[in-house]
Each structure stands twice: as structure tokens, then as C-alpha cells.
């Protein structure tokens, strides 16, 4: 391929209205088609780059025209001649999202170094959130996304950040159904442990729960064993637990934002429908699956009604919800924290481990360790500014901390 001459124009200075229009007005009389353009503003400082296809003989004219137009606006202008060699198309395009609380330079340096080590080139970086975490999105080319995900996951643990790698393309924006675990995901804590507090057997139940979530015990059998410990508990304890239940931080923002974008939302829980039904009604959830406690004469019998929603049951529920919503599995997202979520995380188009056990973090497509459910929105390419803008349009108060 024959190379063509180019001029790279770089404009820097304090951002103000009219800079871009003045630049292109000055170029209006010069035969120099625009090849590429990018602009960024950080704390009021503008960096604007424009790549023009132009012969070297026009360099001085471009330089003079732009200086005359932009110097009075307080801008610095640099014009550099070069050539566009074309070159091969870079394969393996990925979006890499890095989240930190805080996000330190050393961590970003480590992630960038790992990308380079595996043949990746960072084509673009943009910040998409400054709270409750700092999140930046890197557009990367030249590295195999699957290998990059594996290596960056290992690096992220050592660097103290969360990293998600998604293959670029239309499918990244095509997710339509989100299926969430409930206990320790949509809500804080474990419902069965809260019931056990009322029954006076909290320590015993908590120990079995922890072992089950680590994958050391069969979930269905461990659940039945824990439920038997609740035999005789007054059913009014269910009402008390519903009142005590706290949503995960950012849960309402997460749900509200996705519903604005016409996502379908579902919960699938190894917990109990007597509690999840209230969450479904409160949040406007579209689909739900959970276990049901047997209640006779106002007291828990220590038994469950129907089949147990366990690890396999959660995956089956995801598949059923997708079918009912008319959404292919490739367009689904699953979010969970325990070993009983592994099958649905593997089945979904994007599986996200949320404050999860090590076995789950290692198996998921992406992992978050920050206690803010709405941070998952950043993995979907939704920025904090877009979330706040939509809230403001609906009259919802937006409280933004200083940057």
C-alpha cells in the first residue's frame, strides 16, 4: 500500500468555547481532508489532536493559519509532518475496564505493562467514573482477549484493582437480561443467617453457610440442614427480616439505570421467596426464582416446598428467564458471589463475580471487589456522567462529591 503524507495538528490550552470551530474555520481554505480527530478535557485543560491528509508543501500554510486563529484564544499549536503507512489491521480488540478505590498510578502502570507484555497496544483511554470508585476504560488492540483476561486477572489481584476484559464489537452493547443472586449481592448479608439470629442458632448456621459458599459442601444438602435448624421459628420472624434487610450500596441506582435502558432484570436465590417477593415488588424486577419455606400454623416446619434452587437450579432459571424474555444466552449477564452461582456465571454471556469467594473470582469473566453494585454499570460502558444526567432529567437529586 502506498503511503500518504499527513500532518498531525495538536492544540493545547485552557478549554473555552469556540476553539474547535476556529480551528476548522482556519483549515477551510486548505486542501487537507480530516483523517482522524480526538479531543479530551481534563480539569479545564484541552488537548485536541487532528490528523490531516496533506502534502508537506502545505505544512507552513496550515501552521500559519492555525496560529493566527488560535493564538488569540490562548492556545498552543503544534504541527508535525509524517506519513500514514497503512499497515496491517490490528486484531484482538478489547475493552479493558480498570476500577480502583483509589486508583493509583502504580496500578495503572502495572496493568499497562501487562497489556504490552502480551502484545497489546492501548489505543485510547477515557475515565468513565470518579465515584464511588475511579474507573477508566482502555481500548486495546493486538492481544488475544481471552489470554489478556487471564493475565490481567492475575495482575489485578497483586495490584489491588479490579479489571474486566471484554471483546470489542456490537455484542458488547447487546446485553438485554441481567440475572442477580440475592444474598450478599443484591442485599447485604445472608437471609438464612438473619433468620438463624431469631432462632438462636446463628453460629451453627453461619459455619455451614460459609462452607457451602466456598464449595466445600453440597449446597442442596447444606441448605436443608440449615433450614431444619429453623424448625419451630415463628413465621413473624420473616416479617422482621424483611424490615431489617438492607440493599447493597448502589443497588437502586443499578436497577433504575438498567430499566431506563430497557434491560430485563431477574433475581435467582438460594434463599427464600417469602423475602425475595418483597424485593421483586419494590424494585420492579421482571423474573424471580427462590426456595420456599414451609409454614404450618404460623411456624416454620424446618422443611422446604418443591425442588431446591441450587447451583444447577440457578443455571436452569437463567436459561428459563432468557427464553421467556426472548433473549439469547449470549446477551445475558449473571452476577453472583458464591460457588452455587458458578454454573449460571459460566452460562451467561458475561459472568461477573461480585465480592466473591476465590473459586468464583477465578472462574468469572469479570470480578469486582468494591461494595457498590452500581459499579457494574461501568463494565457495561455506562459512565457516571450518563447515570447522573438521567437522574437529573427525572428530578432525582444528584449528590456529586468533589473530584
**What is the sign, positive or negative, of the torsion defined by CA atoms of 158, 159, 164, 168?**
negative
User: Rounded to whole angstroms, how far apart are CA atoms 104 and 209?
Assistant: 35
- Residue 321: which region, alpha, beta or left (left: phi > 0; alpha: psi -120 to 50)? alpha
From 31, 123, 162, 181, the catalytic residue: 181
**Are the C-beta atoms of 66 and 117 separated by less than 8 Å?**
no
C-alpha cell at 165: 476484559
For residue 181, indicate whether it is catalytic: yes
Catalytic-labelled residue, pool 183, 310, 341, 365:
183
CB count within 10 Å of CB 199 equals 19
CA pseudo-torsion sign 252, 253, 256, 262: negative
Closest alpha carbon to 304 in 294, 318, 313: 294
Contacts of residue 89, defined as CB under 8 A and 6 or more positions apart, other chains included, come to: none
Beta carbons within 10 angstroms of residue 112's beta carbon = 17
How many Å separate Cα 242 from the centre of its chain?
28
183 is an active site residue: yes
Any idea what DSSP says for residue 52?
Answer: E
Q: Which residues contact 270 (CB under 8 A, 6 or more apart)?
A: 181, 183, 219, 223, 290, 291, 308, 309, 310, 314, 338, 340
Residues forming the active site: 181, 183
Amino acid at each position: 500500500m502506498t503511503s500518504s503524507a499527513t500532518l498531525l495538528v495538536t492544540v493545547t490550552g485552557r478549554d473555552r468555547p469556540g476553539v474547535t470551530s476556529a480551528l476548522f474555520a482556519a483549515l477551510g481554505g486548505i486542501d487537507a481532508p480530516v483523517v482522524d480527530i480526538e479531543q479530551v478535557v481534563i480539569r479545564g485543560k484541552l488537548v485536541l489532536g487532528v490528523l490531516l491528509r496533506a502534502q508537506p508543501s502545505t505544512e507552513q500554510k496550515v501552521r500559519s493559519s492555525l496560529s493566527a486563529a488560535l493564538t488569540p484564544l490562548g492556545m498552543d499549536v503544534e504541527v508535525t509532518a509524517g506519513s500514514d503507512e497503512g499497515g496491517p489491521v490490528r486484531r484482538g480488540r478489547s475493552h479493558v475496564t480498570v476500577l480502583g478505590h483509589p486508583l493509583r498510578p502504580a496500578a495503572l502502570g502495572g496493568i499497562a505493562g501487562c497489556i504490552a507484555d502480551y502484545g497489546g497496544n492501548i489505543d485510547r483511554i477515557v475515565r468513565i467514573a470518579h465515584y464511588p470508585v475511579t474507573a477508566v476504560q482502555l481500548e486495546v488492540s493486538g492481544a488475544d482477549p481471552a489470554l489478556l483476561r487471564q493475565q490481567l486477572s492475575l495482575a489485578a489481584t497483586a495490584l489491588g484493582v479490579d479489571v474486566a476484559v471484554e471483546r470489542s464489537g456490537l455484542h458488547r452493547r447487546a446485553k438485554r437480561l441481567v440475572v442477580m443472586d440475592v444474598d450478599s449481592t443484591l442485599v447485604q448479608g445472608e437471609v438464612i443467617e438473619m433468620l438463624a439470629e431469631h432462632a438462636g442458632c446463628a453460629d451453627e448456621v453461619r459455619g455451614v453457610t460459609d462452607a457451602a459458599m466456598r464449595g466445600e459442601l453440597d449446597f442442596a444438602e447444606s441448605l436443608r440442614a440449615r433450614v431444619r435448624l429453623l424448625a419451630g421459628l415463628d413465621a413473624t420472624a420473616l416479617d422482621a427480616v424483611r424490615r431489617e434487610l438492607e440493599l447493597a450500596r448502589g443497588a437502586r441506582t443499578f436497577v433504575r439505570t438498567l430499566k431506563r435502558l430497557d434491560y430485563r432484570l431477574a433475581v435467582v436465590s438460594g434463599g427464600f421467596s417469602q423475602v425475595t417477593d418483597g424485593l421483586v415488588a419494590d424494585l420492579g424486577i421482571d423474573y424471580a426464582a427462590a426456595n420456599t419455606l414451609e409454614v404450618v400454623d404460623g411456624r416454620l416446619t424446618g422443611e422446604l416446598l418443591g425442588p431446591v434452587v441450587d447451583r444447577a437450579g440457578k443455571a436452569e432459571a437463567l436459561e428459563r428467564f432468557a427464553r421467556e424474555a426472548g433473549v439469547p444466552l449470549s446477551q445475558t449477564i449473571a452476577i453472583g458471589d458464591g460457588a452455587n452461582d458458578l454454573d449460571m456465571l459460566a452460562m451467561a454471556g458475561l459472568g461477573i463475580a461480585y465480592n466473591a469467594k476465590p473459586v468464583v473470582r477465578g472462574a468469572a469473566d469479570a470480578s469486582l471487589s468494591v461494595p457498590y453494585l452500581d459499579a457494574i454499570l461501568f463494565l457495561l460502558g455506562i459512565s457516571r456522567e450518563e447515570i447522573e444526567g438521567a437522574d437529573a432529567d427525572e428530578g432525582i437529586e444528584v449528590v456529586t462529591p468533589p473530584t
